[in-house]
Structure 1
Amino acid sequence: MSTQHPTPDKDAIALLPEFERLGLDRITLVCTGAQARQAQEHLGKAQAWGFDTESKPTFKVGEQSDGPHILQLSTLERAWVFQLHEPECRRVAGELLALGGVAKAGFGLGDDRKRIVHKLGIEPQGILELNTVFRERGYRKDMGVKGAVAVLFNQRFIKSKKAATSNWANARLSDAQLVYAANDAYAAIRVWQALGLSSGQP
């Protein structure tokens, strides 16, 4: 029987020091084909990316989301936030996600994968669900980014509820949206590194 590791609860996490997030100086907004190709060049140098998407929330019963509207990819140094309304930007985003040999690490990626297949017409490769890694190591089923940051770094990951439920389909994203989106991906790549996955440890 595998060992069960405890995870800190919400109250315990609230007492921890803040996880240092990326500031706007280390976040690049990608909304044109030229910017997307530039991002592709930088991202191609890394062996893994933190990965997440955002979709405009739906509030009506039966309303279908046409997301994702945003794709976030992050290295340990910088994050790129792709807006997917421009065709060339969407095409490059699809190429990046279909690229083999690069781990795309994140949390709760089941819905993201389905939406990507539908929106970008590609099957993403190398998707690494970090919750699965924690489960294999004896943690409870659904760790999530907050729990992972608390366990690995003894720090509290800040997530803005207002940004989470904002309109990700907006043509102009706010600074708060950029910081929120980029840091979900950045925290994932930091967790990936801290788990020793870069050295191929099980």
Structure 2
Amino acid sequence: MQERHPTPDKDTIAQLPPFERLGLDRITLVSTGAEAKEAYAALTDTSAWGFDTESKPTFKVGEVSDGPHILQLATPQHAWVFQLLDPACTAVAAELLALGGIAKAGFGLGDDKKRIVGKLGVQLQGILELNTVFRERGYRKDMGVKGAVAVLFQQRFMKSKKAATSNWASARLTESQLVYAANDAYGAIRVFHALGLA
């Protein structure tokens, strides 16, 4: 019988020292086709990325999101935040997600996958749901990036509620949006490496 491990609760996590996040100096905003090509060259130089998306929240009953509006991909050194507004930029983002041979690791990716297939029309390759890895290793509940960082690094991963529910479809993203989005993907790639999956 496999050993079961407890998932740390909010109060336990709140006591931990903060996880060091990426600052703006290690985050690249990608909004044009030319910028996307540069990001493509840098990203395809590595074998695994942290992966996440953001969509503008829907507040009305029955309102359907036309997201994702943002795609985040990260290495352990840097993160790229793609705005899916310019068709040329979106086409490169789709190409990256369809690439085989590169692991794309993240948390709670079921919804992201459905939306990406719907919006970008690509079949995603190499998607790795990190919650599944934790379940296979004896953790009962979905970990999410906060739980995973607490377990693996004994640190507290900070997330801004304000940024989480902000308008991700905006043509001008704020600094706090960039930091929030980039670090979701960065947290995932750090967890991927800490689990020995590379």
Distance 1:90 1:121 in 2: 11
Q: What is residue 167 of structure 1 aligned with on the other side?
A: 167
Give unpaired runs (5+ residues) of structure 1: none
Aligned to 1:98: 98
CA distance in 2, matches of 1:56, 1:16: 31
Give the counterpart letter for 2:133 in structure 1: V
Residue 73 of structure 2 corresponds to 73
Determine whether 1:18 maps to 2:18.
yes
Given that 2:7 and 2:141 are in contact with CA atoms closer than 8 Å, whether structure 1 keeps it comes out as: no
Residue aligning to 1:182: 182
Aligned length: 198
> 2: CA distance between counterparts of 1:44 and 1:103?
11
Instruction: Please give the alpha-carbon distance, in whole angstroms, between the structure 2 residues aligned to 1:48 and 1:25.
Output: 21
Q: Does 1:27 align with 2:27?
A: yes
CA distance in 2, matches of 1:76, 1:103: 13
> Partners in 1 of 2:124 and 2:68 — Cα distance?
14
Question: CA shift at 1:19, angstroms?
Answer: 0.1
Tell me if 1:118 matches 2:118.
yes
Q: How does 1:136-155 map to 2 (within 5 A)?
A: 136-155=136-155
Percent identity reads: 78
Corresponding residue SS for 2:125: coil
Give 4+ residue runs of structure 1 displaced > 2 Å after superposition. none
Per the TM alignment, residue 6 of structure 1 is displaced from its structure 2 partner at its CA by 1.3
Q: Distance in 2 between matches of 1:152 and 1:121?
A: 35
Contact map agreement 2:72 2:81 (CA 8 A) in 1: yes
| 2:63 matched residue in structure 1 | 63
Instruction: Name the TM-score, length of structure 2 as normaliser.
Output: 0.99
What does the per-residue CA deviation read over 1:157-199, in whole Å, with 9 as the maximum and x for residues that have no partner?
Answer: 000000000000000000000000000000000000000001x
Query: What value does the CA root-mean-square deviation take over the aligned residues?
Result: 0.4
**1:159 aligned partner, one-letter code:** K
In structure 2, what is the Cα distance between the partners aligned to 1:124 and 1:112?
Answer: 11
Residue 118 of structure 1: CA displacement? 0.6
Report deviation, 1:141: 2.9
Deviations 1:127-151 (A, max 9, x none): 0000000000000231110000000
Looking at structure 2, the residues matched to 108 and 156 of structure 1 have their Cα atoms a distance apart, in angstroms, of 19
